[in-house]
Amino acid sequence: MAEKVLMKGNEAIAEAAIRAGCRHYFGYPITPQTEIAAYMAKRMPKIGGTFLQAESEIAAINMVYGVAAAGMRVMTSSSSPGVSLKQEGISYIAGCDLPALIINVQRGGPGLGGIQPSQSDYFQATKGGGHGDYHLIVLAPASVQEMADLTIQAFTLADKYRCPAMLLADGTMGQMMEPVILPEPQTSAVEKPWAVTGTQNKRPHNIINSLCLRPEQLEKANFERYEKYKQIEANEVLYESFMMEDAEYCVVAFGIAARVSKNAVISARKNGIKVGMIRPITLWPFPTDAIAAAAKQVKGFVCAELSMGQMIEDVRLASACTKPVLLCNRVGGMIITPEEVLEKINTLAAL
């Protein structure tokens, strides 16, 4: 087995991306994700790759668009305000059905907000973010190991479905160090005959384009894209189920909030409350079926998240509001404590 190394989450993303065969990185400095850029700046020139500090997040995502159009693995990373700037390019990439990876190491907002951890870009990440009907495949790591593993997974899924993917982390995940076993280097096995690599006078010209002025054609393109999304929803949902076998209550949380909630679940169990946790790993596609099944089993849910209540809407939808769903949240860079989650579990159990 490969050696365990102690690594920051941000660095684990960067190293995993390189091991996923990503040789092109474009970024713009913003806390708390700058280690990714720093790591790429150091490594890319040594392995014949591109590191480019773009003039803006907008330029960076459009450089990503260019490399993705050429059919190569490519990524950019930023944090909340920067990811807002990237939305234009993300919408184009989605509209052109190109694979690419966008990292969002979230911080508190709105506006310039703060630099401390947050999960308040959930809506932006899972509901589109930019203009038009589209989805990103959104993966939410809850450990440094997952920062690495899900980076690889994101590239794989992006290629498989010709779809941009996002790793939705937060400041804690980016800054913390944990032991990580780095994944083995790999290459994309997916053929990309659609890529604009030059016709070599052997085929008709390829066009990467999201413009479609005929409504009937644009509608058809959207319908086709959503057929693809149905496949993703059917095949790619990932979640962790923790102590759910006999659970009477269920905590739903992702990323850092799930780490905190796990402590609370363990404490509650010690107090004799049968509680479990569902941790969505893919935020889109959301583990709707798992939540729906849990809704039949448990008496209620606690949704723990670092936002004013964003994922809670998906929990309520998935459970069809058949059971109470309580929100346990802190925002602005504050992080919920296990005690706060425990208190909500107690409140739920007392209902």
Given the rule CB under 8 A, which residues bind other proteins?
4, 6, 24, 26, 31-32, 50, 52, 54-56, 58-60, 62-70, 72, 74, 88-89, 92, 115, 171-172, 175-179, 196-202, 205-211, 256, 259-260, 262-263, 266, 335, 337-339
Q: How far, in Å, CA of 344 to CA of 268, rounded?
A: 10
Task: Count CA atoms closer than 13 A to 121's CA, side-chain side.
Answer: 34
DSSP 39-77: HHHHHGGGGT-EEEE-SSHHHHHHHHHHHHHTT---EEE
Please, what sign has the CA dihedral across residues 191, 193, 195, 198?
A: positive
Nearer of residues 290 and 304 to other proteins, judged by Cβ: 304
CB of 60 to other proteins, least distance (A): 8
DSSP 198: -
Q: How far, in Å, CA of 306 to CA of 106, rounded?
A: 10
CB of 237 to other proteins, least distance (A): 23
Nearer of residues 105 and 294 to other proteins, judged by Cβ: 105
Nearer of residues 69 and 303 to other proteins, judged by Cβ: 69
Q: How far, in Å, CA of 144 to CA of 235, rounded?
A: 25
Cβ-contact 166, 101 below 8 angstroms:
yes
Collapsing DSSP to helix, strand or coil, 256 comes out as helix
Q: How far, in Å, CA of 180 to CA of 159, rounded?
A: 25
Q: How far, in Å, CA of 82 to CA of 111, rounded?
A: 10
Cβ-contact 121, 83 below 8 angstroms:
yes
CB of 332 to other proteins, least distance (A): 14
CB of 144 to other proteins, least distance (A): 8
Nearer of residues 60 and 283 to other proteins, judged by Cβ: 60
CB of 64 to other proteins, least distance (A): 6
Nearer of residues 88 and 343 to other proteins, judged by Cβ: 88
CB of 300 to other proteins, least distance (A): 22
Nearer of residues 149 and 314 to other proteins, judged by Cβ: 149
CB of 20 to other proteins, least distance (A): 16
29 upstream amide cis, omega within 30 of 0: no
Nearer of residues 84 and 319 to other proteins, judged by Cβ: 84
Q: How far, in Å, CA of 7 to CA of 14, rounded?
A: 11
Cβ-contact 237, 283 below 8 angstroms:
no
CB of 251 to other proteins, least distance (A): 12
Nearer of residues 151 and 172 to other proteins, judged by Cβ: 172
Q: How far, in Å, CA of 264 to CA of 5, rounded?
A: 28
CB atoms within 10 A of CB 351: 10
CB of 65 to other proteins, least distance (A): 5
Nearer of residues 263 and 346 to other proteins, judged by Cβ: 263
